[in-house]
Structure 1
Amino acid sequence: MCIEDSKYDLSAVEFGCVDFALQATQKFGPIQNALNARANKKPWNWCENDNNWSRAIKNEAIEMQDHIGWKWWGHSTPHFNRAFMEVVDIFHFWISAILQVRYESTKKEVPYLSPTFDVMKSGSDLFCELKEIEKAVKEHLVRRRIHDELPDVQKRIWRQEAINSFIDLMVLKAAKAGLHAAEHDLEANYIQLLHIGYIIQILCIFCGRSVSDLFKWYAGKNALNLFRWDNGYKKTAGEKGYIKIWSDGDAPQEDNDYLEYMILDHKDEGSGENETSSEATWLQKFYDMLAAEYKNVLATKDRNEDRSANVSSWKDCESKKFVESLIAG
């Protein structure tokens, strides 16, 4: 399936829906489990909380739409890097939703999906919906060509419209998944989540990224989240907590901004035929880079040598021990 430009050929989607879910949970299930367990304030498994992951996906998708620009009267400039960061956040919630469905299905001893299910067969709901988007975007582009004569303007408008259409479909799928979750219909919920996984891959392509980029950025975001927890994030009043603003000035920058620079500085490493770094290695790399930078932040802003000395690298940090304990069972 190709909408208009070979650069955004949807045949470049790397994984089928089921394979993508398997790849993602095999690579990141333990780390995501650790993050969710750390954020869990209740004395039981986070999967028992009935968190509305679909609602979280929906709201992140809407935030992504703000970065792309949807106001036809606003003439906004798309920010594809920021939009892609929202895809990474969506991926975080999506993996959590998949893990929760699998937990519930195991607990209830029911299959969450038939092994023979083919989510992208011709005539399936998702296949037909993607075809409808292809048709709608092409028609939109034809209509706009009457008014926009410059090719670059056409391409920008087309790309924005395509991304927004896929986001709209994701919001719809997330809403359906949420309803099925509320009804405890595991298979119907899981099918919608698989559809969302496919759309995640499409959004990567339209943001100029690959699934490998998604995995790397996700590893980076996880490194930051775990690093925050290890260094006093959300400490109680009166305690010296984590410093989130890493540089001041006219445009203060948060740790998130530094992470983005780190990822972009290493964007060509471990990709394509020269791929040498697993996602676990990237997690460690980004964690260690954040630790080194945070020591500088503490030296500058906190001026506390003892506190700076307590910033650990990945091999000695609490999160590594926590993740390993969860994996060990």
Structure 2
Amino acid sequence: MLSSTQLATMLSLQDGMNKKVNPDWLNAGYAYLRAAMIESVEGIEHHGWKWWKAQQKDLPQLQMELVDIWHFALSDIIIGFKGDIQQSANTIAEQLASNRSQVTFDGKDYEFTKQDILDNLELMAGLCAAKRFDVPLFLKIVEQAEMDSDELYRQYVGKNVLNFFRQDHGYKAGTYQKIWNGREDNEHLVDVLSSLDINLSDYSDKVYAGLKHRYPQ
């Protein structure tokens, strides 16, 4: 289960990144749940579902789609509480603590703990299309994609901090170096993440500092 520190960190990072894109993002009317719906469908594609052709499950890509969905879901939740990070965190925590195992959609009850990952991804896409997001369902899908809440946190913070780092070091202007010492920035990020304790209260700051230490000055 995601801790209160992890929730507060992720929500604050999401708010910060959205403000970097548009300081008035709360009122911009961006379709975050539409984006989450599209990513849900892409997750189905990465898993493979077609019975008429051979397919291989791409688990890392599927996990990456789930991390992207979480970015959009957090954004939508923050908007729902008019930018109140604490209230957003409390609501997510309450949903997770409820241990709810089913969701009602279009008048039908779905017991998502008994469904496979493809049915759950499809259900999540349907809910997002109806402008709804269900946190317990999402965390069940995360578990079915062979991630735990700590791994979701690690990947989420890593991707978010790397985006911040790129922006701060000339990504928009085209002066950012994506390859340092013969390796892509994503690879350096993996090294930094593996060297840090995710329970640190300043975890995201430490990730940023780790990238800065490695980046050629």
TM-score, normalization by structure 1: 0.54
Q: How does 1:151-300 map to 2 (within 5 A)?
A: 162-177=116-131, 192-193=132-133, 195=134, 197-235=135-173, 240-245=174-179, 254-260=184-190, 262-263=192-193, 265-266=194-195, 270=197, 277-278=199-200, 280-281=202-203, 283-295=204-216
- 1:290 Cα offset (Å): 2.1
- 1:53 Cα offset (Å): 0.2
Structure 1 residues 257, 164: closer, same or farther in 2, change over 3 A? Answer: farther
Structure-2 separation of matches of 1:279 and 1:90: 24
Equivalence for 2:109: 128
How many pairs align?
Answer: 206
Structure-2 separation of matches of 1:241 and 1:30: 27
Structure-2 separation of matches of 1:84 and 1:293: 26
- 1:46 Cα offset (Å): 1.1
- 1:78 Cα offset (Å): 1.5
- 1:98 Cα offset (Å): 0.3
Of the candidates 74, 79, 82, which is equivalent to residue 53 of structure 2?
74
Structure 1 residues 247, 168: closer, same or farther in 2, change over 3 A? Answer: farther
Structure-2 separation of matches of 1:231 and 1:122: 44
- More relative contact order, 1 or 2 (CA 8 Å, 6+ apart): 2
Which structure would you say has the larger Rg?
A: 1
**Secondary structure of the structure 2 residue equivalent to 1:125:** strand
Equivalence for 2:81: 102
Q: Which runs of 5 or more residues in structure 1 are unaligned? A: 1-13, 106-112, 138-161, 178-191, 271-275, 296-307, 309-329
**Secondary structure of the structure 1 residue equivalent to 2:109:** helix
Letter in 2 for 1:102: F
Matched, 1:45 2:44: no
CA-based RMSD of the aligned residues comes to 3.3
Structure 1 residues 66, 246: closer, same or farther in 2, change over 3 A? Answer: farther
- 1:49 Cα offset (Å): 0.1
Letter in 2 for 1:172: G
- 1:243 Cα offset (Å): 2.6
Structure 1 residues 69, 260: closer, same or farther in 2, change over 3 A? Answer: farther
Structure 1 residues 279, 88: closer, same or farther in 2, change over 3 A? Answer: farther
Structure-2 separation of matches of 1:56 and 1:202: 20
Equivalence for 1:36: 18
Instruction: Give CA-to-partner distance per residue, 1:36-66, whole Å, 9 cap, x none.
Output: 00011xxx52101011001111122222223
Q: Indicate the structure with greater helix content.
A: 1
Letter in 1 for 2:56: T
Is the 2:47–2:56 contact (alpha carbons within 8 Å) kept by the matching residues of 1? yes
Q: Which runs of 5 or more residues in structure 2 are unaligned? A: 85-90
Structure-1 separation of matches of 2:117 and 2:186: 24
Instruction: Give CA-to-partner distance per residue, 1:184-214, whole Å, 9 cap, x none.
Output: xxxxxxxx22x1x222211221121111211
Of the candidates 67, 79, 89, which is equivalent to residue 88 of structure 1?
67
- 1:220 Cα offset (Å): 0.9
Which 4+ stretches in 1 moved above 6 angstroms?
Answer: 116-123
Is the 1:88–1:217 contact (alpha carbons within 8 Å) kept by the matching residues of 2? yes
